[in-house]
């Protein structure tokens, strides 16, 4: 994988300050670190050190659990959305115009008496 937003970092001092939203999670960081020579991850407060086999294992396992948890969350969200749709819940923005207003607006536009801008102002859209 190629991560163009990470190519500008060339030393540990620069990598230390990478914001979380740039890295997008442990799997992306792990993949990026594999391609770097002499660049390792050391997390002092969690005893993760990718210079050792044990540290690499811990980093990989934590990343796997994080990915698994994210997948479970996404699955639950999809199930919840499907159940809500079965109950008739509508998603998205509320309609600005009623069906009657929509028919009226289309008729006014087709007559050519009023333009798009004036119609938008008239109907508040």
For 16-66, what is each residue's pLDDT tens digit?
A: 455 544 445 666 666 766 666 677 777 777 777 888 888 888 888 888 898
60 and 14 both lie in a single domain: yes
Q: 75 and 99 in one domain?
A: no
Inform me whether the pLDDT recorded for 12 exceeds 50: no
Question: Which range, of 2-6, 60-64, 71-75, 98-102, averages the lowest pLDDT?
Answer: 2-6
Domain of residue 102 covers 95-125
23 and 59 belong to one structural domain: yes
Per-residue DSSP letters for 5-56? Answer: GGTT--SHHHHHT--HHHHTSHHHHHHHHHTSTT---EETTTTEETTSHHHH
| One domain, residues 44 and 76 | yes
16 with 76, same domain: the answer is: yes
pLDDT tens-digit readout, 68-78: 999 999 999 99
Query: Which carries the bigger pLDDT value, residue 3 or residue 64?
Result: 64
Total structural domains in the chain?
2
Same domain, 102 and 70: no
| 104-to-2, 20, 117, 120, 125 alpha-carbon distances in Å | 52, 51, 15, 13, 14
What does the pLDDT read at residue 43? Answer: 73
């Amino acid at each position: 994988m190629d991560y163009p937003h990470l190519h500008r970092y060339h030393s540990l001092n620069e990598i230390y300050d990478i914001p979380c939203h740039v890295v997008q999670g442990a799997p992306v960081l792990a993949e990026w670190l594999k391609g770097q020579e002499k660049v390792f991850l050391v997390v002092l407060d969690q005893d993760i050190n990718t210079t050792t086999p044990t540290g690499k294992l811990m980093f990989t396992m934590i990343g796997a659990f994080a990915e698994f948890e994210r997948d479970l969350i996404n699955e639950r969200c999809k199930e919840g959305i499907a159940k809500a749709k079965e109950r008739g819940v509508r998603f998205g923005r509320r309609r600005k115009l009623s069906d009657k207003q929509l028919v009226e607006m289309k008729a006014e536009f087709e007559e050519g008496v009023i333009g798009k801008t004036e119609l938008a102002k008239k109907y508040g859209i």
